[in-house]
């Protein structure tokens, strides 16, 4: 009755037919599909919850928090724009606007880069530091309650390893010359 992905296949057959045949990619098993969808749903739930709670309690969303956090943990509380864009998983233009907002809010400042006149640093201000310090517990609390509390020690360790493996298995910066700052 359904076209496609749910074709029940014995999980054992997966690795057998999968990489071997080469003509059409093996459809996903029910278990595989469930894991993937679970990942999507869990991510959506977590991000939505974080966004909502940060916004409610401190007036800025997750993306701002992540940028501020990246700056706070950088040496000198400053980062080149492109470096910050990468850490916040934003495009350069996306980061330009986010930095505009944060700067208007007084949380960061832009300062020109002495060694490269093209570039500038985003620098966390005192206000930004304070605001971040206030929001940190909210952030940690949401992640702990909704994610970490549901994970055993072993789950946590395995999750970390799996994500690492998945990330290094994919070029990621694929369609990009990459390079950028130091």
Partner DNA sequence: ATCGTGTAGTTGCGCCAGCAAGTATCCGGA
Partner DNA sequence: TCCGGATACTTGCTGGCGCAACTACACGAT
Hey, what are 141's tokens?
């609390």
Nearest CA-CA partner of 57 in 141, 146, 126, 147: 141
Answer whether 124's CB lies under 8 Å from 71's CB: yes
Give the strands of the sheet with 78-80, arranged side by side.
78-80, 120-124, 108-112
Residue 87 binding DNA, by CB under 7 A: no
Beta bridge partners of 111: 121
Rg (CA), the chain: 21
> In 53-159, where do the E strands start and end?
78-80, 108-112, 120-124
List of residues contacting its own copies (CB under 8 A): 1-6, 11, 18-19, 24-28, 31-32, 34-36, 38-46, 49, 52, 69, 72-73, 75, 89, 129, 132-133, 136-137, 139-141, 143-144, 146-151, 153, 155-160, 162-167, 169-170, 172, 175
State which of residues 14, 46, 57, 61 lies at the interface with DNA (CB under 7 A). 61
- 92 binding DNA? (CB under 7 A): yes
In the block, tokens 């990619």 appear at 25
We find the least distance from the C-beta atom of residue 34 to its own copies, in angstroms, to be 5
Length of the chain: 182
Asked if 29 touches DNA (CB under 7 A), the answer is: no
Residue 112 Cβ, how far from DNA at the closest point, in Å? 9
CB 66 → its own copies: shortest distance, Å?
A: 8
* Span near DNA by CB under 7 A; candidates 18-26, 34-42, 81-89, 132-140: 81-89
By CB under 7 A, the residues from 94 to 133 that bind DNA are 94-101, 110, 113, 116-121
What residues contact residue 85 under an 8 Å CB cut-off, 6+ apart? 91, 92, 94, 95
25, interface contact from DNA, its own copies, none, CB < 5-8 Å by kind: its own copies
Q: Which is nearer to its own copies, 40 or 111 (CB)?
A: 40
């Amino acid at each position: 009755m359904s076209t496609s992905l749910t074709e029940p296949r014995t999980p054992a057959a997966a690795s057998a037919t999968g990489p071997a045949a080469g003509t059409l990619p093996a459809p996903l098993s029910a278990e595989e599909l469930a894991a993937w969808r679970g990942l999507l749903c869990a991510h959506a739930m977590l991000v939505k919850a974080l966004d909502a709670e940060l916004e409610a309690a401190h007036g800025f969303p997750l993306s701002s928090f992540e940028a501020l956090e990246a700056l706070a943990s950088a040496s000198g509380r400053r980062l080149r724009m492109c470096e910050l864009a990468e850490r916040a998983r934003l495009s350069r233009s996306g980061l330009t606007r986010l930095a505009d907002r944060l700067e208007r809010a007084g949380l960061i400042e832009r300062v020109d880069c002495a060694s490269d006149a093209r570039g500038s640093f985003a620098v966390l201000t005192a206000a930004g530091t304070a605001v971040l310090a206030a929001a940190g517990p909210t952030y940690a609390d949401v992640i702990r309650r909704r994610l970490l509390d549901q994970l055993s020690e072993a789950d946590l360790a395995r999750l970390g390893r799996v994500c690492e493996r998945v990330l290094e298995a994919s070029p990621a910066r694929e369609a990009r010359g990459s390079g950028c700052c130091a």
